[in-house]
Amino acid sequence: MATVTLKEGWLDNHPLLQQIVKISQARQIEIYLVGGAVRDLLLGRENIVDLDFAVPGDGLAVARQVANALQVAFYPLDVERQTGRVVYDTPNTTGPKKSYLDFATFRGPSLLADLADRDFTVNAMALNLAEPAELIDPQNGQRDLQSGQIQAVTNDAFENDPARVLRAIRQAAEFGFSIETKTRQLARQAAPKLATVSPERQRDEILKLLNTPAPGQAVEELHQLGILPHILPEVETLIGVEQSPPHYLDVFDHTIAALTTWTKMRQVDFSDPPIRLPAAVKQYLHEPLAGNVTLEMIMPVAQLLHDTGKPATRTVKIQESGHYTKTQFLGHERESAKIARQVMNRFHFSGQAIGFVETVVTQHMRPLLLAQEGTASRRAIYRLFRDTTGQNYQAGVAVALHALADQRATYPPGQGQAEEKALLEITNKLITAFFEQREQVVDPPPILNGRDLMAELNLAQGQLIGQLLDRLREAQATGQVQTRLQALNFIKTDPEFLKHKEEN
């Protein structure tokens, strides 16, 4: 068994782990830090919030002891496998940060058997928390960590858990690693068995994969290893679907480029292109959706699925000479939204997350059309935000950001600067309206309500009241109506109101 004594000071940046070491020593508990946390420590990562521990005895009992020592909450995570979870809140400058400490009984009769049952060599290392701290590395994970490759621990690693196929691609994209040749072959062979993995586990791995630093590369790997037909056949159908200029890529490669562009925009804090109010935009993207996700986490799902309707809507105009003039995808955004809903339902995303992605995909052409018109009036801005308001979310800013990434992925390198400038102007106008002119343009507070209309204009409750209030709200957003008197006069001259008055 290969062991290495770690250098002095290896715990300096990990105060919580220091506390676990002290607890294990004071109570003479044999505890090993295992898996991804060890890998991340060796990679020099500091913000490690998921800590997995293996113990030779009852993991539930050890978890309870540690929770008592830390004076924090303990939860039985898996009673059958004797696994317990400790949740620890660490105060920091942005609010409490939760760390999750999972304590599990060895997978087998010994630590070596436990490590041999893990997925990849870089995740099959353990740290003995007794002094001196020992790195236990029977699978040569350090070697693969240094060479930057993902290698399966055993030939049946994927057979034992097919979800590891997705995890291999995700971790390669996350760390900038390659997947070792034999491991690639094993992953390809195991791809059909992904059908046996629960939709929730598939969803979680796909979501993590799309939020790595290289989601485009990861989706390309899903294709190269023959995995797409088994989990995302709707994306597989995009391969080879040609588009007319200004597109220079087929729909699949354009989708990969859009994912890559979106990630780059986020990584440079929206300074390239220069988005207005970047701090407000980042805070907006951190807004939560049901299902323990944020807008930022779910945005790449919209990028992945935004053109899935193109194969079904593709038409080609033919010249008399027999040469096509233009490839069109009329209505593809609505078809794509329909497919996005089906895909996300299949993976059991929350209804709110599905609604958000469906809205972004349905409306993703709107900012591009405004840019082509060369302007965005207050009415147009109001209507865009009106049409992107969903169940406890507002997707308008996301639609604008999505459109910018989409357009950047459309033109060949060095082209499309004028078009991008025009779209960026619209994007920043929408961002400004949302964050700085919300009550004036996006969401004006109502001057009148339904009870006012019934009392002032002798109207009965019904559909007409909702229609009149909607039109009044738009008139407020355009600046046409600013006072109660103006609002009443506006309603009194509305064609639908006059028609109703004449009929009654």
Sign of CA dihedral 388, 262, 242, 355: negative
Structure tokens given for 498: 């006059």
pLDDT digits (tens, 9 = 90+) for 96-154: 578 899 999 998 999 999 999 999 999 999 998 876 678 999 999 999 999 999 999 99
pLDDT of 358 above 60? yes
pLDDT, position 59? 92
pLDDT, position 306? 98
Separation of alpha carbons 458 and 452, rounded Å: 9
Q: 44: part of which helix (H) or strand (E)?
A: none
In single-letter form, the type of residue at position 45 comes to: R
| pLDDT bracket for residue 4 (50, 70, 90) | low
In single-letter form, the type of residue at position 19 comes to: Q
Quick one: average pLDDT of 177-182?
A: 97
pLDDT, position 467? 92
- Percent of the chain having pLDDT more than 70? 96
Separation of alpha carbons 347 and 56, rounded Å: 36
pLDDT digits (tens, 9 = 90+) for 435-475: 999 999 999 999 999 998 898 888 888 899 999 999 999 99
pLDDT, position 504? 73
Q: Which residue has the tokens 């620890």?
A: 88
pLDDT of 284 above 50? yes
pLDDT, position 5? 61
Quick one: average pLDDT of 321-343?
A: 89
Reduced 3-state DSSP string for 79-145: CCCCEEEEEEEECCCCCCEEEEEEEEECCCCCHHHHHHCCCEHHHCCEEECCCCCEEECCCCHHHHH
pLDDT, position 45? 84
pLDDT, position 216? 97
Q: Quick check: pTM over 0.85?
A: yes
Comparison of pLDDT for 33 and 80, the residue scoring more: 33
Outline where DSSP puts E strands in 243-386: 288-289, 293-294, 315-318, 324-328
Separation of alpha carbons 433 and 443, rounded Å: 10
Quick one: average pLDDT of 89-97?
A: 62
Q: Are 122 and 80 in contact (CB under 8 A)?
A: no
| pLDDT bracket for residue 6 (50, 70, 90) | low
Q: 446: part of which helix (H) or strand (E)?
A: none
| pLDDT bracket for residue 497 (50, 70, 90) | confident
pLDDT, position 81? 84
Domains of the chain: 3-147 (3.30.460.10), 149-231 (1.10.110.30), 266-442 (no CATH), 450-503 (no CATH)
Q: Which residue has the tokens 């209309």?
A: 453
pLDDT of 95 above 70? no
The string of DSSP letters for 415-441 reads: --HHHHHHHHHHHHHHHHHHHHSIIII
Q: Are 430 and 400 in contact (CB under 8 A)?
A: yes
pLDDT, position 93? 47
| pLDDT bracket for residue 260 (50, 70, 90) | very high
